[in-house]
Copies of this chain bind each other. A is one copy, B any other.
Amino acid sequence: MIDFITFCDYMGTFAFAISGIRLASAKQFDWFGAYVVGVVTAVGGGTVRDILLNDTPFWMTQPSYLVVSGFALLFVIIFRKYVIKLNNTFFIFDAIGLGLFVIVGIVKTLDFGFPMWVAVVMGTITGSFGGMIRDILINEVPLILRKDIYALACVFGGIAYWICLQLAMPSALSQFISATIVFGIRILSVKYHISVPVLKGEE
């Protein structure tokens, strides 16, 4: 079970890093700059969470996240011509990673003794702030604030976890249901072009 979760974690990290590296390459970043954007996309959300929780950022305790991001850079460099054909695969990886990251954020925050609403916020931050920092670095308005149900999928996953716990479900099952909901909302919203309404400006 640990192995499966670790595998999902690496896949998610890889997909998040790939998304950062690809956007950086579209902006003429050099290899090292693209790597930095990839790493920040992959670990940024969890790092903000850990800073807010006053804990040592998770990637400082083991090098695997930086290594996986390095493989993502190599992958983009070597398979440049094929990367675009793998869009759907990366999207699935990304959605799996998102589900997992949200759960990790929620569980860790509850472990630190915070109430459930803080955990939902932290799960959302874990899942979505990496992409937000990525877009700031490439000097774009963060995509997740304008389009797609992304951060909101994290919120729904968090609420689902809350409900599961209220129903006294075992912790592992609650986590599985919650991650699946994040994953499902993400997939369905993209497939059926469901999005949050744009906030209309003043006349």
Interface size class of A (residues with CB under 8 A): 35 or more
Main SS of chain A's interface residues?
Answer: helix
CB distance from A86 to the nearest CB of B (A): 11
A interface list, Cβ under 8 A from B: 21-22, 24-34, 36-37, 47, 51-52, 54, 56-57, 60, 63, 66, 76-77, 80-81, 83-84, 114, 117-118, 121, 132, 136-142, 144-147, 151-152, 155, 195-203
Whether A24 touches B60, Cβ cut-off 8 Å, given contacts A30-B196, A30-B198, is no
Given contacts A138-B141, A139-B141, contact A33 B200 (CB under 8 A): no
The answer to whether B32 and A151 have CB atoms under 8 Å apart is yes
Given A81-B202, A202-B22, A202-B80, are A197 and B31 also a contact pair (CB < 8 Å)? yes
Given that A140-B139, A201-B25 are contacting pairs, would A151 and B36 also be in contact in the complex, using a CB cutoff of 8 Å? yes
> Does B57 contact A146, Cβ atoms closer than 8 Å?
no
